[in-house]
Amino acid sequence: MTMGKTYRDRPIRDIEAIVSAPLLLGQIKIYSKGDQPVAYLSFASVTPDWKARIEAGERPEEVRDWRCGPEVVVVDVVSPFNEPEVFIQQFHASLATGSKRSN
């Protein structure tokens, strides 16, 4: 996360708030190239209202907000070397084929 511009200068308490809930719930995916991680993706299973809020830039604040409905939405992607859209597309493709949603 420290290599990406978005998170480089953020305090550790902010980073913890961003990753704790999805990590606790197993709602993350780590993409690797060989043994090297290249991207982190977090997702939530939410109501249609929450999905719209997340897509508008809002972040779930409570753990319960991360798993409150049937709509799967990507919340965050950290990838310092690739465009996030690459991993969002891979994630949605894995859902379409029924692959495991989280690591």
Encode pLDDT of 8-45 as tens digits. 677 888 778 788 999 999 999 999 999 999 999 999 99
Assess if residue 66 is contained within a domain. yes
Residues 46-93 have pLDDT tens digits of 999 999 999 999 999 899 999 999 999 999 999 988 899 999 999 999
Q: Does residue 7 surpass a pLDDT of 50?
A: yes
Q: Which residues, in sequence order, are CB contacts of 19 under 8 Å at separation 6+?
A: 28, 40, 42
pLDDT for 1:
47
Assess if residue 51 is contained within a domain. yes
pLDDT for 17:
76
Domain of residue 38 covers 12-96
Assess if residue 103 is contained within a domain. no
Assess if residue 82 is contained within a domain. yes
Number of domains, the chain: 1
Assess if residue 56 is contained within a domain. yes
Assess if residue 31 is contained within a domain. yes
How deeply is 78 buried, as exposed, middle or buried, from its count of CB atoms within 10 A (0-12, 13-18, 19+)?
buried
Assess if residue 1 is contained within a domain. no
Assess if residue 2 is contained within a domain. no
